[in-house]
Amino acid sequence: MSENIMNLETVTMDEEAGALVIIDQTKLPDTVELLSLTRQADIWDAIYLLRVRGAPAIGVAAAIGIYLAAKDIETDDYESFYAQFKAAKDYLASARPTAVNLFWALDRMEKLVTDNADKSVAEIKTLLRDEAVKIKEEDIRVCRAMGEYGLTLIHDGDGILTHCNAGQLAAVKYGTALAPIHLGHERGYKFKVFTDETRPLLQGARLSAFELHSSGVDTTVICDNMASQVMKNGWVQAVFVGSDRVAANGDACNKIGTSALAILAKFYGIPFYVVAPTSSIDMNTPSGKDIPIEERPAEEVTQMWYKQRMAPEGVKVYNPAFDFADNELVTAIITEYGIARAPYNESLKEIFERKREESF
């Protein structure tokens, strides 16, 4: 299809077809293909195989997916319904271990079920549908709010370096780390964005560069190991990254390579900003060392993007999907409720206090 990618929602629901509808991100940038998924196995595969990816988008997909699972449960007995719901929830939760939004969305949907045990199964299914839609709509508002806060930290003409994809393709609209860029571009700001290709899955080259270029943003793709030279050239005034999970102390877990960027930014005196909704902040995880790091197949490194294998057959491969930027390297964490700065154990608690006081 030829439609501009920015005119499409990354994740949505086709209730008439009983389907989760996503952009297949494994086909980008060559092909923009919408997948209509009705089977739980296909939804699980879509999350695991990165057809839908990015912490906010995974959360929305999980909410819609578990609603569709609940919709298909054929019983009027609450206990039987809940047992089958819980099994479906546990199944979807097993798709990705690191992104906390997956568990956040599924737990939120489960809480709705347990809080309404006195209602009929039919009523609970309706509530689940409404909650899934609410989570999707919230994601758009949250990302826009983070974009507004992030925009206060940069200026027209700034050079911005980003890693992986934390833009619209990682959410429903705007994204997290790219939200300030998208909003600024809408208002006429002329940013110069440097996009790490992000080995081994190339989310920067395939996805961030694709959506930024589609929007008309000045975009330059660089290999991950070129970031230091670009910073040394004085071309970067800020680094913006997303996060799959932020620990209570401000350690920010994100796509592999983020830690190295944070170290470089510190060396060159460049502010390093993490953009993360409160749904990605896990106050029950003390530090980055406590975050489970997903390891992915060796083939992603040795042969995925090549016409022929590019490493010796049988060679060992270490392929962690994430690392974390230590909190002392993080200049600020941008949320939908404001900007947190060190000490993060205190400022993140204040962010959640603000969240409790305000109705977003």
Based on the fold, state whether residues 84 and 170 are members of the same structural domain.
Answer: no
The reported pLDDT for the residue numbered 275 is: 98
* Last residue of one domain, picked from the residues 118, 143, 168: 143
Based on the fold, state whether residues 135 and 151 are members of the same structural domain.
Answer: no
Question: 318-332: per-residue pLDDT in tens?
Answer: 999 999 999 999 999
- Residue 39 CA to residue 153 CA, distance in Å, equals 43
The reported pLDDT for the residue numbered 7 is: 84
pLDDT, mean over the chain: 95
Based on the fold, state whether residues 92 and 216 are members of the same structural domain.
Answer: no
Based on the fold, state whether residues 16 and 120 are members of the same structural domain.
Answer: yes
Based on the fold, state whether residues 304 and 162 are members of the same structural domain.
Answer: yes
Based on the fold, state whether residues 179 and 314 are members of the same structural domain.
Answer: yes
Confidence of residue 360 (pLDDT cuts 50, 70, 90): low
Checking if the pLDDT of 62 tops 60, the result is yes
% pLDDT > 70, the chain:
98
The reported pLDDT for the residue numbered 227 is: 98
Checking if the pLDDT of 2 tops 50, the result is no
Based on the fold, state whether residues 292 and 188 are members of the same structural domain.
Answer: yes
Domain count, the chain: 2
Question: 43-58: per-residue pLDDT in tens?
Answer: 999 999 999 998 899 9
Based on the fold, state whether residues 200 and 260 are members of the same structural domain.
Answer: yes
Rounded average pLDDT over 27-32: 92
Question: 197-241: per-residue pLDDT in tens?
Answer: 999 999 999 999 999 999 999 999 999 999 999 999 999 999 999
% pLDDT > 90, the chain:
93
Type of residue found at 348 = L
Based on the fold, state whether residues 205 and 315 are members of the same structural domain.
Answer: yes
* Last residue of one domain, picked from the residues 143, 167, 188: 143
CATH at residue 52: 1.20.120.420
Domain of 84, in residue numbers: 5-143
Three-state SS letters, the chain: CCCCHHHCCCEEEECCCCEEEEECCCCCCCCCCEEEECCHHHHHHHHHCCCCCCHHHHHHHHHHHHHHHHHCCCCCCHHHHHHHHHHHHHHHHCCCCCCHHHHHHHHHHHHHHHHCCCCCHHHHHHHHHHHHHHHHHHHHHHHHHHHHHHHCCCCCCCEEEECCCCCHHHCCCCCCCCHHHHHHHHCCCCCEEEEECCCCCCHHHHHHHHHHHHHCCEEEEECHHHHHHHHHCCCCCEEEECCCEEECCCCEEEECCHHHHHHHHHHHCCCEEEECCHHHEECCCCCHHHCCCCECCCHHHHCCCCCCCCCCCCCCCCCECEEEECHHHCCEEEECCEEECCCHHHHHHHHHHHHHHCCC
Q: How many residues does the chain have?
A: 360
Question: 235-276: per-residue pLDDT in tens?
Answer: 999 999 999 999 999 999 999 999 999 999 999 999 999 999
Checking if the pLDDT of 97 tops 90, the result is no
Based on the fold, state whether residues 139 and 158 are members of the same structural domain.
Answer: no
Query: Would you please indicate which residues are annotated as catalytic (active-site) residues?
Result: 244
Based on the fold, state whether residues 158 and 133 are members of the same structural domain.
Answer: no
CB 242 within 8 A of CB 143: no
Q: Is the bond into 200 cis (omega within 30 degrees of 0)?
A: yes
Based on the fold, state whether residues 158 and 301 are members of the same structural domain.
Answer: yes
Question: 272-301: per-residue pLDDT in tens?
Answer: 999 999 999 999 999 999 999 999 999 999
Rounded average pLDDT over 146-150: 98
Confidence of residue 3 (pLDDT cuts 50, 70, 90): low
* Last residue of one domain, picked from the residues 115, 143, 171: 143
CATH at residue 324: 3.40.50.10470
